[in-house]
Amino acid sequence: MNERKSSGRVTARIRARARRLRPWLAASAASGAAALVAVLLPVSPATAAPAAAPACATAWNSGAVYTGGSTVSHGNHNWQAKWWTRGETPGTTGQWGVWVDKGECGTGSGNPDPSGFIVSQAQFEQMFPNRKPFYTYQGLVDALKAYPEFTKTGSEEVRKREAAAFLANVSHETGGLVHVVEQNQANYPHYCDKTQPYGCPAGNDAYYGRGPIQLSWNFNYKAAGDALGIDLLNNPWLVERDPSVAWQTGLWYWNTQKGPGTVTGHQAIVDGHGFGESIRSINGTLECNGGNPAQVQSRINRFKEFTQILGTTPGDKLSC
């Protein structure tokens, strides 16, 4: 009897101790399971933000001589020469050729430019190294909303070609995006066509050339303003004060106006008429058909330079 009581007391103490240990054992088991899972399952590393691509080097020129170590840009990539070369296009010489692909430049780690524009900001800066601060890249990007078909028609080759054509003509008109307004002030009073029913409410001398395409004449300010929903007839100075408005007037003319030509600048490129017809639509009366061949050639030279920067081809029918 005493043995059974003693045995019962021992059993009760063991059960009580087990009850006290149960939470600790459960916690230990959970901790051990978590540690085992941590060991067995790989830990995902934090996703790093894509590194920005380096700036594009000076654009490759088919007539230039390059020596070993020279770096150029072509087709949105930087390339380094392994030895002396001239006339060998980067990207066409293969693994054992002269050019080594150093990776994408200007647009950032293989991603398209955040603006969605086919010309990256780095390429824009490369085209216009001496531009006036007024002509901002962001102002151009903002203006694209007004004409979504611009650089969005046709193959990538054609879309880049149109961007190069527009910007080449713009560069010619503004001295490389240096001039915001027409430099010859003696011409200012000439741009008021008084035969128009709306006249020249901003003043007879208020409609001089402004902006990337050097918009001039009261009837052009009226038409551009009506198309863009901006009162440029009464406030033409907006074109020299607001970068976005300035770029919009340039795109308005390029996409909708034939000028002295038969097609718009946009149509000249996307329909295959050639760069020469874009010159005709802008200043054909004074430059084309032998009027000023030096000016025509200046536009062509800049167009070829810009097509190289964008990694596209100029096509044919470059002159007018």
Give catalytic residue positions: 173
Contacts of 241 (CB under 8 A, 6+ apart): none
Contact 225, 238 (CB under 8 A): no
